[in-house]
Chains A and B, each alone.
Chain A
Amino acid sequence: MTDIRYLSPATLDEAISAFAAAGSAARILAGGTDLLVQMRAGSVKPGVIVDIKRISEMTTIEETAGGGFRIGAAVPGAVLAEHPRFGKVWPGVLEAVNLIGSTQVQGRASAGGNLCNSSPAADSVPAMIAAGAIVTVAGPSGRREMPVEQVPAGPGRTNLKPGEILVSFALPPRPPGSGDAYLRMIPRTEMDIAVVGCGVSLTLKDGVCTAARVGLGAVAPTVLLVEAAAKALVGSKLDDAALNAAAAACSAACRPIDDKRGTIAYRTKIAGVLLKRTATIAAQRAGRN
């Protein structure tokens, strides 16, 4: 016998009441690709599981009036990949989301779960930070928005308040000449956890970078927004000097751990290398738009 309860509310209000009432024993179930593994391992013992996938706002992708996107927190990676326009506008965000796990995992795993699981190595998060995504969270005291980079608080911890649920990501409209990209360093080609992950989004006008954002994963307790790297790119023609300066800014932002996946020195160096490669791909894509 167990004393776990499973709920699958059809509305966000019901989900919030149930989630808030159950307190710290409650867990949100989106794709379950982290939660079920944690339950199986015994590291999480939820009293209440709130499945949010019957709430349409959580599972739909909308193109907003100005040309932005709103992605429900529980939209699986495979569904995002099948959207006719999303991958054309945000190829870097899509490639980051689609790097999470296998085909089977892509059928379930969501960007919302990836963010709330709050792994420093979460693949979708650097790309979402680079994209300037704003998340909507809803809780007992209503809805609020926050920049995606403010959600992770540390490994496995978020800045969501008790009872709050991540609802959606809003990605802003793209100016002409914009492109984004995500690269991660792993020792193999598939199914691994990032040693370093780098997301870059930028806008070019007449060959000059007019806006940039850089997200860096697996090099600190949370995924980082590296403003100094973006600053080094803006105003440049992405020449070697600018790329080297941005790479140095990424390496300087690193506060990594030594573990079996990589040493502090290796991660710090690779952060700079990946920045240059990722920015170059983002710039190529920007040139086509």
Chain B
Amino acid sequence: MAKLHVSTTINGEPMEFLCEPNDTMLDALRGPLALTGSKEGCASGDCGACSITLDDRLVCSCLMLAAEAEGRDLRTIEGMAHGERLHPLQQKFLEMAALQCGICTSGMLVASEALLRKNPRPSEEEVRFWLAGNLCRCTGYDKIVRAVLETAAEMREAAQ
């Protein structure tokens, strides 16, 4: 069986790749596309380390077939910074030490960015519920939640 040819858009750039029909989007990202920022934690949709957006909606790339990307618009952690200029969330995660081993971090950032796009003024409870599908075994979550809230406040200020 020949591989499938997929044309898609990733982080605003048109991309093409080949995949097996049962490859996940995470397989394609980390394999032929060489975008290894998305991590494989559980491969069953529980940990969120592989979070990306598909047509602006937050999903686990391990629960999506690569073939489904045809004609869609994907965003990954690689599209978050503009060159050397980090996204405010990335900058705040560094400043507030909202990471330790780093495996969950790209998923946390992608998920947090999706939250702030939808809700620029989340409560602490809303942040915790939104990130319930992103597991972290290092930080105890508190620093992550505080970094997201702090970033939200700064982004609101900057937008005024």
Residues of A within 8 A of B (CB): 1-6, 8, 29, 31-33, 36-37, 39-41, 49, 51, 53, 76, 78, 101-105, 107-108, 190-191
Contact = CB atoms under 8 A, between A and B. Distances in A.
Contacts of B60: 104-105, 108
Contacts of A101: 45, 133
Nearest to A190: B132
Contacts of B57: 76, 78, 107
Given A6-B65, A37-B45, A191-B132, A104 B59 contact: yes
B70 A36 contact: no
A152 to B, nearest CB: 22
A3 to B, nearest CB: 6
Contacts of A2: 1, 20-22
Contacts of A41: 44
Interface of B: 1, 4, 20-22, 24, 43-46, 48, 51, 54, 57-60, 62-65, 67-68, 70, 111, 114-115, 129-134
A105 B1 contact: no
Interface residues of B: mostly helix, strand, loop or mixed?
mixed
Contact of B133 (A31, A51, A103): A103
A104 B65 contact: no
27 contacts: A1-B1, A1-B20, A4-B1, A4-B21, A5-B21, A6-B22, A8-B70, A29-B65, A31-B63, A32-B63, A33-B45, A36-B45, A36-B63, A36-B64, A41-B44, A51-B65, A51-B68, A102-B48, A103-B129, A104-B45, A104-B60, A104-B133, A107-B57, A107-B58, A107-B59, A108-B63, A190-B129
Given A37-B63, A104-B60, A6 B21 contact: yes
A94 to B, nearest CB: 15
Nearest to A49: B21
Given A4-B22, A32-B64, A36-B45, 6 more contacts: A2-B22, A51-B65, A51-B67, A102-B133, A103-B115, A108-B64
